[in-house]
Every structure is written in structure tokens, then in C-alpha cells.
Amino acid sequence: MQLTQYLDSVESSSISYDGLYPGHIQTTPVQKALLAVGSGVAALQNPYRHDMVAVLGETTGHLALTALRDRMRDDPEGYAVLTERPRIRLSTLDLTKMAALPDGSFGREYLRFLEENNVTPDSRADVRFVDDEELAYVMQRYREVHDLLHTLLGMPTNMLGEVAVKWFEAAQTGLPMCALGAALGPLRLNASRLQTLLTSLGPWALRSGRQARCVLSVFYERRWEQNTEELREELRIPPPPASLARRSS
């Protein structure tokens, strides 16, 4: 049975939405293991299968999500995020106001990133297989701040930029899904970009991820007017060397 068929069978079986949070699907440890293996294989075959990457993250990330949740609880701003549960969706963004912000402000640069790369925050899938309501929100928040990290790190959405962000996320979050992406992403790079990743961009991303403040503990919705460079400095994220940022584009 193909994984997509198995997912359909899980959703339509007696394992129904149980009210833990909207869309949650309760699964047994055996079912989670099957989903993790199947989604991992599918993601290896096609890294652009975002639905499979999402399932892999949800079925393998319990320990990392718990650690991230604890870091957020220990941070006043992160605790506010956990308490208020903001969502980054087109319905929650004031695009007109963000477009009027000055160049260099975080909100304006994030909107520019969305426009130039033709992406939308609404493309992030809802969490289904995390069996804890608070941890499910942590996973959802991780997904929804991914494009904000591209903005903070100055990375485009090409393969080199995505791998650099994934190296940062692996060091920052400890999520197995991120580690897998960081390990396998370089295999899809040409020789020139692989050299850039291994000699300069990758070490910068790993170092930045390790030393940065927990990026899930930032209430970004209250930071749109802040200068991007100031926010990056506050979060202890050094900018990439200019030459490397240009080569990744």
C-alpha cells in the first residue's frame, strides 16, 4: 500500500478526530512508526513532497518539540507566544500596512520576500499527528516562521538557500526532520554550490543556529516595524558574508 493510501486509511478509519485540537488524528506507536518510515522514504525520493516532510516532522519530533516548548516557556516573549497562540496567515497579516513600512524594517522585508519568491504563509500544512495540543502549536509555529527565517538569514528559496536555512534549523531546533534535510540537501547541489556550503555558508548557518536565541520565542507580529538588522543582532544571528549571500541567490 502506498503511503498516501495509508494516510487516507488512517484518516477514514476508527481513528477519528478526537477533539484534542482541530484536525488531530490519534495514532498508535506502531502507526506512527509506519508513517515515519514511509514519509521518510517519500521525502528522500522527492524533497519537494512537503506533505511527506510534514508527516515525518510530526511523527519523529516529540523530544525536540518538548525541548523547544520548554525554551519558549522560560522566555517571557516565548511564553506570551505560547499563551496567545498567534498564527501567521494571510488572514492575520495587514499587507497594506506592511507595504507602507520603510525599507529595512522586518515587516517590509518579509513582505518583499513573499512577493519576490511568490510564496504565501497559507501554504503551511496544519499539524495532525502530534498527540499534545501545546506541542502541536509549537510545530505549527515552527512551520509558520520558516519564511521569516529566510528573511532574517537573508537566504533565497533556491536549493542552496533552503539547505542553509535547514542547517540553521537543525542546529537551532534539534528536529530530526531538519537534521535529515540538512544531511541530504547537499546531495542536490552542484559542485560550486556544495563547496560554498561546506566551506563557508554551512558553518555560518550551524554556528548561527547554535548561538541564536530561540527563534520560536519571538513574537514576530509585534516586530514588523523593527529594523531587520537590529532584530538579527538582538537574536544573535550574524549576517552571512555579502559575497555568499549574493552567490546563494
Distance between CA 195 and CA 224 in Å, rounded?
35
Residue 249: pLDDT over 50: no
- Position 247 in a domain: no
pLDDT tens, position by position, 80-128: 999 999 999 999 999 999 999 999 999 999 999 999 999 999 988 899 9
Neighbours of 48 (CB within 10 A): 7
> What residues are designated binding site for Zn(2+)?
146-147, 150, 162
Average pLDDT over all residues of the chain: 89
Average pLDDT over residues 199-219: 96
Residue 224: pLDDT over 80: yes
- Position 44 in a domain: yes
pTM of full prediction above 0.85: yes
The C-alpha cell of 144 is what?
509558520
Residue 247: pLDDT over 60: no
Residue 239: pLDDT over 80: yes
- Position 7 in a domain: no
- Position 2 in a domain: no
> What residues are designated binding site?
146-147, 150, 162
- Please give the pLDDT value at position 160: 93
- Position 80 in a domain: yes
**186 burial type by CB count under 10 A (0-12 exposed, 13-18 middle, 19+ buried):** middle
Distance between CA 188 and CA 130 in Å, rounded?
30
- Position 20 in a domain: no
- Please give the pLDDT value at position 46: 73
- Please give the pLDDT value at position 167: 97
pLDDT tens, position by position, 135-188: 999 999 999 999 999 999 999 999 999 999 999 999 999 999 999 889 988 988
The C-alpha cell of 11 is what?
484518516
Question: Which domain covers residue 216, as residue numbers?
Answer: 27-178+185-237
Structural domains counted in the chain: 1
Phi then psi dihedrals of residue 242, to 5 deg: -55, -40
- Position 21 in a domain: no
- Please give the pLDDT value at position 103: 97
